[in-house]
Amino acid sequence: MAIGDDFEIQVDKDIRYTGSAHGVSGAGYYTVLEFHEWARGLGDDAAATGDDNYDITVVDLSSKAFDTIIELVNGFNIDQTTSEHLYGGSIIQASGDDIWDGIQVVGTTGMDMQIIQNNVVLANDFWNEIPFGSSDKGLNSDPANGISHQFILKVRTSGSDIDGRRFIATTREYEKVYGERKINGTGRGVNVVALSGWTNDLNNNTAAGTVATWTTITNTEGYANIDVNNDSTDEYYYSEWNRDSYTINQFYERMKWLTRQGSVSTLYGLNGELFRGITHEIPVDTGGGSFNWTEPEAVSWSGGTGQLFAVDDVDDDSTTKMWIQLLTGIAPTDGQTITGGSSGATNDVNGSATERTISAPFCGASTGSALIGAYGFGMEALDLTSSDIVFDLDNDPYSAPNYVTFSVGDNLDTSGTPDYVLVTNNESGGVDYDQMTLNGALTGGAVTTVTVTGSIPADTPATGTIRIERDSGKYTRHPYSAWSGSNFTITSHDFSSDNASNTNNVFISYIDKQAASSTEQVTMIYDAPRTMFIRVRNGGNTPIKTFETTASLGTAGGSATPVRTSDA
């Protein structure tokens, strides 16, 4: 079809597209220069013909500054439907009150691209239409030159720029690699948007319907103190995700699912498809505000809006920093007042905002077996391994120690009188009774601290049990809730009637319990190879001969399976 068959110039100066709809045979698409030249060709005609009311007697319709910048003058205008069939430059009308700017996307043919404009994912993504006769999405694609889409986008309406002519182009097709590109303000002509890298995500193969059921993966939103590297000093993040029993790569897939194209999930008060992560860290004055902040909440200032993810103290009298996702406008500047939309809290900016790099997806990248985290993205310390890397709100990298598991069983008896399982450090094929010794006698009636000589082994579980030699010769079991240096914090116990003298033996019982499941296990930080001693007994309804063995604990953990020999 010729361009003149697809447009009409009405008497009231409305220029309208009359051709076939998107995806239908004969749908027409033309550059803004072709559009101008078509109208120019009509303008020198002696008389108007057909449905085009434009000839030598009519005032000028358009002017050309450059081949890519066309201005409609004297009241001539297009509408949104007409704009969807033009590309390759800008259309200006109503003396500059309405502007469509040209967008050229450098990307893979077939890519589904969405646009976030003024904090809204545009519902009318006409640029993703499949042209008639093609199997790939993308209007006016040019695969030979790496161009996936060409179209014009309205950036100014009724005399006001739409969010400063800013927008964000994203690709969030589940099972594909995510990407985004921010345009900080379109210019007249063609604006190039590079979104290369759209391909299958090899670490995202689980069906979306399956991932949708993984609802036990949860997050505690807001400023979080986590000691990822177990050095007794917390780092700070804006999240604390719990991956439950799922692998780290399954967790990564869940993060993609939550923020996929068409998401109906909510993260930090934002729709999942709008959620991008922290864009700015903002220093604020202490004591310069009122009330307390809510994490999360909408925030605003003169010239912009955002969503607050975290502050370093929700009591704004002590707040020195806040972390937001910029939604509209520009980041606040020194001296501006930021106001909480729900809390009403206020603080003044104290210095310059730091723009932080966005990751797509927001959690970071998966290697298939490890997570390389995004800025400020935190997880529960025990959900991370030494292969994972997370970055705190100071943008410093942290890795967890190598947490390993030692397990006994897969065949433990839990019926009737369950098996009793004891796991200790090995000494000559038996219990290492003198693994440690007391540094100070235990004689009181409510003892909660046990001090040993030297340092407690670095691979001691964070919580567990120890056995203490009493003066009677018995080794009594004592749960501990924490340890540090040379001290265990134990459940209060009366040692007054059977003391534990200075230098008496103390040993860690890594597993020390009746079996509650077919396998019992303990998690600890790997420090060095260790040989474990294992004893399993059952003298009850299904008695077995005492089983004893040793097994190695290495960088991948360790295990032992009891041999069950009846003693009935």
Please state, in angstroms and rounded to a whole number, the distance separating the CA atoms of residues 511 and 408: 9
* Mean pLDDT, range 237-253, rounded to an integer: 98
Q: Which of 139-148, 288-297, 370-379, 490-499 has the lowest mean pLDDT?
A: 288-297
Q: What percent of the chain has pLDDT over 70?
A: 99
Same domain for 422 and 376: no
The answer to whether position 203 is within a domain reads: no
The answer to whether position 200 is within a domain reads: no
The answer to whether position 540 is within a domain reads: yes
Indicate the pLDDT class of residue 288, thresholds 50, 70 and 90. Answer: low
The answer to whether position 107 is within a domain reads: yes
Return the pLDDT at 515.
97
SS3 percent helix, strand, coil of the chain, rounded to 5, is 10, 40, 50
* Mean pLDDT, range 375-381, rounded to an integer: 97
Residue 354, H or E segment: strand 354-355
Same domain for 85 and 33: yes
Same domain for 551 and 425: yes
Same domain for 414 and 394: no
Q: Indicate the SS3 state at residue 167.
A: strand
Decide if pLDDT at 317 tops 70: yes
What residues does 451 pair with on adjacent strands?
487
Same domain for 291 and 264: no
Indicate the pLDDT class of residue 313, thresholds 50, 70 and 90. Answer: confident
> What is the token pair recorded at 107?
């990307």
Decide if pLDDT at 287 tops 90: no
* Mean pLDDT, range 134-151, rounded to an integer: 96
Same domain for 189 and 71: yes
Q: Which of 126-130, 200-204, 537-541 has the lowest mean pLDDT?
A: 537-541
Same domain for 116 and 10: yes
Q: Decide which of 335, 367, 398 is a domain's last residue.
A: 398
Decide if pLDDT at 49 tops 70: yes
Same domain for 124 and 50: yes
The answer to whether position 353 is within a domain reads: no
Please state, in angstroms and rounded to a whole number, the distance separating the CA atoms of residues 534 and 411: 14
**pLDDT tens digits, one per residue of 251-285:** 999 999 999 999 999 999 999 999 999 999 999 99
Same domain for 58 and 124: yes
Give me the amino acid identity at 58: V
The answer to whether position 253 is within a domain reads: yes
| Residue of higher predicted confidence among 476 and 287 | 476
Same domain for 531 and 435: yes
Residue-number span of the structural domain to which 379 is assigned: 208-273+359-398
Same domain for 161 and 243: no
Please state, in angstroms and rounded to a whole number, the distance separating the CA atoms of residues 325 and 264: 19
Q: What is the pTM of this model?
A: 0.85
The answer to whether position 202 is within a domain reads: no
The answer to whether position 233 is within a domain reads: yes
pLDDT, the chain, mean: 96
Please state, in angstroms and rounded to a whole number, the distance separating the CA atoms of residues 335 and 346: 12
**pLDDT tens digits, one per residue of 490-503:** 999 999 999 999 99
Indicate the pLDDT class of residue 1, thresholds 50, 70 and 90. Answer: low
Q: How many domains does the chain have?
A: 4
Same domain for 325 and 263: no
